[in-house]
Amino acid sequence: MAIDSKRGIYQNYRNLFSSYASVYLVVIGLSVGLSANTFADTKLDFFGDAFLNERNDLIIGSSADGSASVQVPLFSTQGPPISVRTIQVGVGSPHNGSLVVGAFDQSDPVAVIEASGAVIVGVNGHGSMIINPNGIVRRSLSITNGIIGQGQNSTGEVAIRGGGWRTGDLYVGQAGSGTLTLSGGVLDSRNVYLASTQTATATVALDRQSTWGNRDALLTLGPGPVNLGVHNGSKIESGHTFITGPSNIQITAAGSWKNFGLFQIGRETLQVPGPGSSVLVSDAGSRLSTQGLTVGVNSPGAMTIQKGAAVVAEHAGVGFIQPTGTLTIKDPGSSLTAIQNLGVRGSITVQNGASLNVGSGGLLIGCGTTGAVCSLSVSGIGSQVNAVNILVGLEAGEGILSVAGGAQLRSDFAQIGISSFSAGAVTVTGVGSVWSNQGDINIGLQIPGKLSILDGALVRSTTTQLGPLGTLVLGSGTLEGDLINTGGVVTAGDPGIQMLLNGSYTQLAGEVDLEIAGLTPDKYDRFVIHGTGDFEGGFIRLSFVDGFFPHAGDKFDILMADQGLTFTQNMFAFSGIYPDFQFDTQFLDGALILTALNDATPVPEANTFALFGSGLVGLWLVAAKRRRTR
């Protein structure tokens, strides 16, 4: 059955109930000519301690064990429903009460019982109610509520086995223990409260294409422990869903849940944070759709999407007041789609071929709490994150985005380092790991931001702009597109790295940091630019590390720009040696080669200086020559 609209889930319910919708018989006394347990062809049979009292309440299991059944005998005609004021099953402790509505044989006529007041299963003792395939329990007034497990020491069990129950507000585990199971059944309710006190527990399971709608009202889980499962093609529709306490929800085997309002996991109403709630959506065909999704509002909340399941939300957030939410999306075909935006104040993991899709409102990674760390990690071949806009490091704390193991990240625009008291970092690592950005990537324009491209990874962007608080680490990775440095740092991170830029480099301020730990290419960094290299400001900083310092005649091809290399001011700065070091430069076959003219003198501690002298004369000549020939 499709759930394209809010009405869809009730189709089975209407089919089951429509033939009786106009038949209401409120019984105040006994009809003339009818026995106390017979209403036309619908029979109410009593066994043990079960009776109708003077107020027309059906009481079962008050002072001893008792049971009752509502059935229409085979070959009888359909009569009006049995109407009572309230239904109370399992009234006294420690007694047992049970009510069976309808026969299990679907060929029998439908048996209906209706109540104008509450239906309570497990008042203070143990109560059970079974609604068989041709059984219906319904309310005759909109205020009629259903309660399963009312008293603190009570236990209530309701099993809808192909039949239907229509009620007002529904409590499963009000103060005691409540169990509700649907197997091919239909449940229609208003506001729902599962384990509504700390002493209560609730277990709810939907199986065999059961349906449950609560007419866009509240569905509240906790603060007591709740286990809720939607399995094997079963469906739930709800308005707003608030999950608190130690709740465990599972949607599996093509089960689905359509929520029209907020769906919040880990939402405590008490001052003391709860132990956490979890939601599992598993298996191909299983689906959760909601207007708003929040995982971890103010206490721990977790969601796992796996084995081809899907979650769709208009707006989504992981972590809200505190960074207490975790979301895991794994396995091929598994996905979360945030149609508008996704805020990450907790942690998200996308792995093993799963996908995360975010619309034009943006993928926003930032904690909102000073000192906190919020993260999104995507890893594994086939795993992907697709977002129109990506903002990393906003509001407060540190936002981290990592792409590894052959995963893919796609976006139109990105900014790393957004808001005061925050920092942003993006790391793309490993052969096959790719970030494809259609527009610009801005790094550290006003707030600290860092992009690391490591170990064979690739980042594509039309233009990458590195601001005064930005750092770009090209650690054996490749940046594709033009790079403009307005005050940040371009570095390899370790000596012996070839930093690769497939595009032009413009340095207006900031610096390129290169480390030198020896004479062979695997001991010093090289910045390779497949395009033009225009150094119009800032520095090229050479750091001699690991005890190495140059001797006269040592050569280092530290820069390459195959379409031209230009300088407009004194650029070289050195660390680790005294300022008496002299050098010369030569531009040959697109490479800038630095040659030591004397033996450098190491310093005990790191020391940095700008070198002005004979070495820079050669540099200026090279720059002037390249400018004229470009």
Q: How many Cα atoms are found within 13 Å in the side-chain-facing hemisphere of 116?
A: 11
For the cut 50, the answer to whether the pLDDT of residue 52 exceeds it is yes
pLDDT of res. 586 = 86
For the cut 60, the answer to whether the pLDDT of residue 39 exceeds it is no
Lowest-confidence range among 271-275, 564-568, 569-573? 271-275
For the cut 70, the answer to whether the pLDDT of residue 32 exceeds it is no
pLDDT of res. 419 = 83
pLDDT of res. 8 = 39
Q: How many Cα atoms are found within 13 Å in the side-chain-facing hemisphere of 560?
A: 16
Sequence ranges of the domains in the chain? 1-237, 522-629
For the cut 50, the answer to whether the pLDDT of residue 11 exceeds it is no
Beta bridge partners of residue 404, listed in sequence order = 379, 429
Beta bridge partners of residue 542, listed in sequence order = 514, 574
Lowest-confidence range among 17-31, 322-336, 449-463, 568-582? 17-31
Confidence of residue 568 (pLDDT cuts 50, 70, 90): low
pLDDT of res. 605 = 59
Residue with tokens 């006529």: 109
Summarize the confidence of residues 346-368 as an average pLDDT.
Answer: 95
Confidence of residue 215 (pLDDT cuts 50, 70, 90): low
pLDDT of res. 626 = 35
What letter does residue 291 receive in the DSSP assignment? E
pLDDT of res. 78 = 59
Do 61 and 95 contact (CB within 8 A), yes or no? yes
pLDDT of res. 297 = 84
For the cut 70, the answer to whether the pLDDT of residue 122 exceeds it is yes
Summarize the confidence of residues 77-105 as an average pLDDT.
Answer: 90
Confidence of residue 268 (pLDDT cuts 50, 70, 90): low
Lowest-confidence range among 8-17, 27-36, 54-63? 27-36
Do 164 and 187 contact (CB within 8 A), yes or no? yes
**pLDDT above 70 coverage of the chain, percent:** 86
pLDDT of res. 324 = 80
Lowest-confidence range among 75-79, 200-204, 533-537? 75-79
For the cut 90, the answer to whether the pLDDT of residue 180 exceeds it is yes
How is residue 235 written in tokens?
Answer: 């469906």
pLDDT of res. 10 = 34
**pLDDT above 90 coverage of the chain, percent:** 73
Do 358 and 386 contact (CB within 8 A), yes or no? yes
Do 473 and 481 contact (CB within 8 A), yes or no? no
Summarize the confidence of residues 592-602 as an average pLDDT.
Answer: 93
Q: Give residue-wise pLDDT tens across range 403-420.
A: 999 999 999 999 999 988
pLDDT of res. 5 = 33
The separation between CA 246 and the C-alpha centre of its own chain, rounded to angstroms, equals 18
Question: Which residues are CB-neighbours of 411 under 8 A, at least 6 positions away?
Answer: 363, 386, 387, 388, 389, 390, 435, 436, 437, 438
Confidence of residue 20 (pLDDT cuts 50, 70, 90): very low
Q: Give residue-wise pLDDT tens across range 514-559.
A: 999 999 999 999 999 999 999 999 999 999 999 999 999 999 999 9
Lowest-confidence range among 21-25, 137-141, 155-159, 350-354? 21-25
pLDDT of res. 72 = 85
Lowest-confidence range among 31-45, 241-255, 326-340, 521-535? 31-45
pLDDT of res. 492 = 95
Confidence of residue 166 (pLDDT cuts 50, 70, 90): very high
Alpha-carbon gap, residue 352 to 355, rounded angstroms: 9
Summarize the confidence of residues 147-176 as an average pLDDT.
Answer: 96
Question: Which residues are CB-neighbours of 314 under 8 A, at least 6 positions away?
Answer: 290, 291, 292, 338, 339, 340
What is the C-alpha R_g of the chain? 35
- φ and ψ at 629, to 5 degrees? -100, -5
Q: Is 332 exposed, middle or buried (0-12, 13-18, 19+ CB in 10 A)?
A: middle
| Strand boundaries in 319-407, DSSP class E | 325-330, 335-344, 347-351, 355-358, 362-365, 373-379, 384-387, 389-392, 397-404
For the cut 80, the answer to whether the pLDDT of residue 22 exceeds it is no
Lowest-confidence range among 93-107, 161-175, 466-480? 93-107
Summarize the confidence of residues 585-614 as an average pLDDT.
Answer: 75
Report whether the peptide linkage leading into residue 73 is cis, meaning its omega lies within 30 degrees of zero.
Answer: no
Average pLDDT value for the chain: 87
For the cut 50, the answer to whether the pLDDT of residue 132 exceeds it is yes
Which of the two residues, 605 and 581, has the higher pLDDT score?
581
Which of the two residues, 25 and 380, has the higher pLDDT score?
380
pLDDT of res. 244 = 84
Alpha-carbon gap, residue 392 to 394, rounded angstroms: 6
For the cut 80, the answer to whether the pLDDT of residue 43 exceeds it is yes
Q: Give residue-wise pLDDT tens across range 384-402.
A: 999 999 999 988 889 999 9
Q: Give residue-wise pLDDT tens across range 228-257.
A: 999 999 999 999 999 988 899 999 999 999
Q: How far apart are the first and last CA of the chain?
A: 69
